[in-house]
Amino acid sequence: MALLSRLRARVGARVARTRIGAALVVHPVDGISDEAGALAGALPADPHHDLVVMDLPAVSPIEVWQAFAGVLPRGRGPVRVVPGRAGSDIPPYAWQWLADRSNRPVTAPYGVALHLAGAVFVPGEGAWVDFGKETAPRWAGKRFPAPAWESVELGRTRTVGLRGVAEPLPAGVWLRPDVAPDALAPARDRLTMTLPRLRDTPIVALGARDAVDLTVAEVAAFWRTLPADAAAAVRFTRYGALSPADDAAFGQELANAVGAEVCVYTGVPVAGDVLALRQDGSLGARVFAQAYAYRPGGLPVGRLAAHRAPAPGLSEVAAGVYWYAPDVVVEVVRAGLWVRPAEQTGDPAGVRAAPLDPMHTLLVHESSDPARAERLRDAAVGVMNLLDESTLPQSRLIASTVLAGTHRRVLAAKPAPEPAVPELQALHQQALHQPAPEQHAADDETDLPWLSRLMETVSIPFPAAASEEAVHGLR
C-alpha cells in the first residue's frame, strides 16, 4: 500500500485521547504536541463543562472530525473545546456541526484563541460562543477561566465618550484613544501579557503613548456603562497621556464626575507588584504606595488603598505606617517612604502630597524640627539599609524641608493649561452628565444573530476525502 494511502487509513480511522490534569486531550495517534500538553496541564477545571483540548489541525478531513466527535466524554452536559495549537482559526460552522453531531452543547472560540499561563483569551472581535443543537449561537465571554466580573460590557470593543475606545484585555479593558488599532500593536501585546488577571478586580488601562490625551469625560462615560459590581471593583492604571496629567488630580476629578469612590494604581501592576511608569513608557522601580482611592468631594491626596511593606520584620501599626523604633515610624507615601516621629500626625512639608518620581524612590526624613532632624536622618539611613536589592539602587535620601521646596518649584514651573474650546468644553460637560445607557434584555445582549446568519449561508468546508496536505498537517 502506498504511504499516502496508509496515512489516509490511519487518519480516517481514529484519533487518541489522553487525560492531562483537568482536561481531556484529543490528539493524533502519534502523540501529543508539546504545546497542547503544556496548555492542558496549566488549565484549571471548568465546573460547568467537560474540558477538552483539541490537538488537531484546524483544517482536517471529515473523518478526523467524526473521530473527534466520537471520543468526546460521555454525557449530555456541555463541552468546552480549547484549540491546542496556537493560531488555530476554526470556523464557527465546524463547532455547530460538532454540537449537532454529538447532541450536546459546545462552547468554543470564534476567532483565534490566545494561550496564556493557565488561561485562554479570545482577542479582537472574537469571543467564546455557545453552540447548541437547533439553537442560535450565544456570546459566552472573552476569557477562560471566566473572572467574577466577566460581562458583555467588559467583553466587547466599543466606543465610549467623545473619542475613547474600550478594548477588552485578559485582565480587563484598555480604554484608549480612537486611533488605528495596528499603530497600538506593541502596547496591546504588552498589556495583554503584563497585566495580572485578577478574579475579583478588573483592571482598566488608561491611554496610549504618543496619542491624544484621554480625559476624565471619556473615562466617566465608560464607567457609567459598567454593571454596579464591576464598577465598584475596577482599578485604573495609567498607560498614556491623561488630562489632567497629575494622577492624583485625575483620580479625584474622576471620583467627582462619577459620584462614587474610584481606585487608581500609582503605576502599572505586574505579577503582584506595581512598577512606576516612566516618561518613555518603560517600567521603573517597584513602588511602595501601590494604589489610592478617591471619594467624591475629597482631597486629591486620596486614601492609601494598597501598598507593600518597607522591609521585612517591621510591624504595621496603622494603614501603611510601620514601627521602626520606639520614637520613629516609617510611613508609606506616594513618593516613597517617610521617616517621621511616632507622635507626629501633621504634615507641615506636604510629604503625603509629593508626587511619585518614576526614576527614583524617595526616602524622606522629617526635618521640620531641628532638634530631631539628625536623629530622624540616622533612622532613615537605617531604613535604607533594609531595602531590597531592586529598590536600593534607585532610592534617594532627602530632607522633608528640601522636598517641600523642590515640590513647590516644580508646581510653579508647570505651564498653565490652555483654555478649552467652548464647543468642546460643552461636549465634555454633556458627556460627564449624560445618563447611563439603557440596559437591554439578556437575550439582546448575548444572542449572536450575525453568526447565525453566517452559518445559514456558508456550507461546512469539510473535504470529502483526506487531502495530502491535511494528512501531513495531522502528523
Report pLDDT digits (tens) over 201-253: 999 999 998 888 899 999 999 999 999 999 999 999 999 989 998 889 999 99
- Of the candidates 418, 433, 457, which is a domain's last residue? 418
Q: In what helix (H) or strand (E) does residue 114 lie, and over which residues does it extend? A: strand 114-116
Both 250 and 325 in a single domain? Answer: no
pLDDT at 322: 98
pLDDT level of residue 449 (50, 70, 90 thresholds): low
Both 53 and 193 in a single domain? Answer: no
Q: Are the C-beta atoms of residues 65 and 33 closer than 8 Å to each other?
A: no
* Residue 447 belongs to a domain: no
192 is written with which cell numbers? Answer: 495583554
Which residue's C-alpha cell is 503613548? 209
Q: Are the C-beta atoms of residues 26 and 56 closer than 8 Å to each other?
A: yes
Both 157 and 301 in a single domain? Answer: yes
pLDDT at 261: 97
**By percentage, how much of the chain surpasses pLDDT 90?**
72
Task: Rounding to the nearest 10 degrees, give the CA dihedral for residues 439, 441, 442, 445.
Answer: -70
Task: Rounding to the nearest 10 degrees, give the CA dihedral for residues 317, 321, 325, 326.
Answer: -50
Buried b (16+ CB within 10 A) or exposed e, 239-274: bbbbbbeebbbbbbbbbbbbeebbbbbbbbbeeebb
pLDDT at 270: 95
Separation of alpha carbons 125 and 155, rounded Å: 9
User: Which three-class secondary structure state does DSSP give residue 106?
Assistant: strand
Selected residue with higher pLDDT from 442 and 268: 268
Selected residue with higher pLDDT from 304 and 406: 304
pLDDT level of residue 411 (50, 70, 90 thresholds): very low
pLDDT at 75: 87
pLDDT level of residue 427 (50, 70, 90 thresholds): very low
Residue 370 confidence (pLDDT) above 70: yes
Residue 83 confidence (pLDDT) above 90: yes
Selected residue with higher pLDDT from 436 and 268: 268
Both 90 and 203 in a single domain? Answer: no
Separation of alpha carbons 432 and 254, rounded Å: 10
| Interval 399-416 mean pLDDT | 62
Task: Rounding to the nearest 10 degrees, give the CA dihedral for residues 152, 154, 159, 160.
Answer: 120
- Of the candidates 130, 146, 162, which is a domain's last residue? 146
Sheet holding 273-277, edge to edge: 268-270, 273-277, 283-286
Q: Are the C-beta atoms of residues 387 and 308 closer than 8 Å to each other?
A: no
Which residue's C-alpha cell is 484585555? 169
* Residue 19 belongs to a domain: yes
pLDDT at 211: 84
Both 165 and 126 in a single domain? Answer: no
pLDDT at 410: 41
Both 136 and 55 in a single domain? Answer: yes
H-type helices in 207-293, by residue range? 216-224, 228-233, 247-258
Separation of alpha carbons 380 and 399, rounded Å: 10
DSSP state of 237: E
* Residue 363 belongs to a domain: yes
pLDDT at 382: 96
Residue 399 confidence (pLDDT) above 70: yes
Which residue's C-alpha cell is 477538552? 52
273 is written with which cell numbers? Answer: 507588584
pLDDT at 23: 97
Both 245 and 206 in a single domain? Answer: yes
Selected residue with higher pLDDT from 427 and 430: 430
User: Which three-class secondary structure state does DSSP give residue 128?
Assistant: strand
Neighbouring-strand partners of residue 120 = 115, 144
Residue 198 confidence (pLDDT) above 70: yes
Both 132 and 233 in a single domain? Answer: no
Residue 441 confidence (pLDDT) above 60: no
Whole-number average pLDDT of the chain:
84
Residue 10 confidence (pLDDT) above 80: no
- CA distances 8 to 30, 55, 336, Å, are 14, 18, 67
Is the bond preceding 145 in cis, omega lying within 30 degrees of 0?
yes
Question: How many H-runs (helices) and E-runs (strands) does the chain carry?
Answer: 14, 29
Neighbouring CB atoms inside 10 A of 352's CB total: 17
| Interval 118-146 mean pLDDT | 95
* Residue 29 belongs to a domain: yes
Task: Pick the most confident of 58-67, 421-430, 456-465.
Answer: 58-67
Both 231 and 296 in a single domain? Answer: yes
Minimum mean pLDDT among 355-369, 396-410, 460-474: which range?
Answer: 460-474
| Interval 310-314 mean pLDDT | 93
Q: Are the C-beta atoms of residues 334 and 289 closer than 8 Å to each other?
A: yes
Both 289 and 351 in a single domain? Answer: no
Buried b (16+ CB within 10 A) or exposed e, 407-422: beeeeeeeeeeeeeee
What is the secondary structure of 17-74 as a DSSP string? EEEETTEEEEE-TT---HHHHHHHHHPPP-TTSEEEEE-S-SS--HHHHHHHHHTSPS
Separation of alpha carbons 313 and 106, rounded Å: 52
Which residue's C-alpha cell is 534607585? 394
pLDDT at 455: 47
Domain of residue 368 covers 311-418
pLDDT at 324: 96
Residue 190 confidence (pLDDT) above 90: yes
| Interval 84-91 mean pLDDT | 92
Residue 274 confidence (pLDDT) above 90: yes
Burial of 17 (0-12, 13-18, 19+ CB in 10 A): middle
pLDDT at 326: 95
* Residue 387 belongs to a domain: yes
- Of the candidates 276, 291, 308, which is a domain's last residue? 308
The number of distinct structural domains making up the chain is 3
Both 131 and 179 in a single domain? Answer: no
pLDDT level of residue 39 (50, 70, 90 thresholds): very high
Beta strands in 239-388 (DSSP E): 242-243, 262-265, 268-270, 273-277, 283-286, 289-294, 303-307, 316-318, 321-325, 328-333, 336-341, 361-365
Residue 314 confidence (pLDDT) above 90: yes
Task: Pick the most confident of 69-78, 273-282, 289-298.
Answer: 289-298
* Residue 425 belongs to a domain: no
